[in-house]
Each structure stands twice: as C-alpha cells, then as structure tokens.
C-alpha cells in the first residue's frame, strides 16, 4: 500500500484528454457552448497556456483525492496515522489488502464520485447561475466519465 505517483500522474492527464473529446463540437461542444452562453469571442479571450497549466495542477489534486476514494487501504493509513507495523493492522492488511484493487472497482468508485459529489456541486452552482439542465448534465456527464477513467487507472494500477 503506497502512494502511486505514476498512476496519479497518468490519471491527472485524463481530464484534459477527455475534455478535448467531450467538448469537441462534434460531440457535446456545440450544445455545451449554447448552454454555457459561451461565444467564440469569450473562448479566444483567455490565456490558453495558463488555463491548461492550472487545469493540469487541479487535475493532479483531483487524482490524489481519487486515490483515497478508490484504494480503500488508504483509509487504514488515516486510521492508524501511518503506523502500519502494529499486529492488528498487519492482520487486517494480510486479509484485505488488494482485495478491491481493480480497474472495474476503481471505475465504479470514480463514477460514483462524479454522481454523488460533482452533480450536487455543479447542479447547485448552475441553478443559482440560472443555467439549464442541459448544461448541468453535459458537465456532470463529463466528470462522471472522467472520474470513472481516473478511478480505473488508479484502482487498477497495482
């Protein structure tokens, strides 16, 4: 049971790659732009280098947190304050460590975090911003899929 830096780094790239696909005009990009009231002028107004660098940093933070959601043994680290040499902890880990470490299990927990964390947060914000349900579902769908893939990478990377 360790912090898997490489898996987290690979998972952190997922939001950018899937974002290129999901928000492409041939997929959901045109519908999203209308729902978000995004214009060509607004899109050209940002500093893309800064946007992508900050997005990658935030994606890295998200991947770190995703590891705690999909790798259940990380909870043992928290409960024991990192003290893993105790007899009880070792017995627990001997029986359970790695039992739920798979791409499938990681994808499940990643997608669940999209539904149970992202949907409420984006939904609440969008309602107060007077955005449509289409806007909420396009963005939430992106995060459910993205977190599912991130979770699969982290959960299955043994």
Output the pLDDT for position 144: 98
Is the pLDDT higher at 7 or at 84? 7
- Which residue, among 70, 90, 94, has the nearest Cα to 80 in the 3D structure? 90
Output the pLDDT for position 1: 52
Dump the DSSP string for the chain.
----HHHHHHHHHHHHHHHHHHTSTTTTHHHHHHHTT--HHHHHTS-HHHHHHHHHHHHHHHHHHHHHHH-TTHHHHHHTTT---SHHHHHHHHHHTTTT-SHHHHHHHHHHHIIIIIHHHHHHHHHHTT--HHHHHHHHHHHHHHHHHHHHHHHH--
Is the pLDDT at 147 greater than 80, yes or no?
yes
Output the pLDDT for position 27: 98
Average pLDDT along the chain: 91
Separation CA 43–CA 19 (nearest Å): 15
What mean pLDDT comes out for the span 142-154?
A: 98
Q: Which pTM was predicted?
A: 0.88
Is the pLDDT higher at 111 or at 157? 111
pLDDT class of 122 with cuts at 50, 70, 90: very high
Residue-wise pLDDT for 37-64, tens only, equals 999 888 888 899 999 999 999 999 999 9
pLDDT class of 96 with cuts at 50, 70, 90: confident
Separation CA 136–CA 139 (nearest Å): 5
Label residue 132 exposed, middle or buried (CB < 10 Å: 0-12, 13-18, 19+): middle
Output the pLDDT for position 158: 62
- Cβ–Cβ under 8 Å, residues 17 and 146: no
- The residue count for the chain: 158
Is the pLDDT at 107 greater than 90, yes or no?
yes
Residue-wise pLDDT for 7-31, tens only, equals 999 999 999 999 999 999 999 999 9
How is residue 45 written in tokens? 């107004």
What mean pLDDT comes out for the span 119-130?
A: 98
């Amino acid at each position: 049971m360790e912090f898997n830096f490489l898996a987290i780094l690979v998972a952190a790239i997922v939001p950018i790659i899937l974002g290129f696909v999901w928000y492409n005009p041939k997929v959901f990009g045109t519908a999203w732009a209308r729902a978000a009231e995004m214009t060509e002028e607004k899109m050209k107004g940002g500093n893309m280098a800064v946007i992508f660098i900050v997005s990658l940093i935030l994606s890295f933070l998200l991947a770190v947190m995703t590891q705690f959601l999909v790798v259940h043994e990380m909870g043992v680290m928290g409960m024991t304050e990192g003290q893993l040499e105790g007899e009880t902890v070792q017995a627990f880990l001997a029986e359970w460590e790695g039992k739920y470490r798979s791409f499938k299990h990681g994808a499940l927990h990643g997608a669940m975090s999209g539904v149970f964390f992202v949907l409420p947060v984006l939904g609440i914000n969008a309602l107060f911003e007077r955005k449509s349900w289409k806007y909420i579902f396009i963005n939430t769908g992106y995060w459910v899929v993205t977190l599912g893939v991130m979770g699969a990478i982290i959960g299955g990377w043994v």
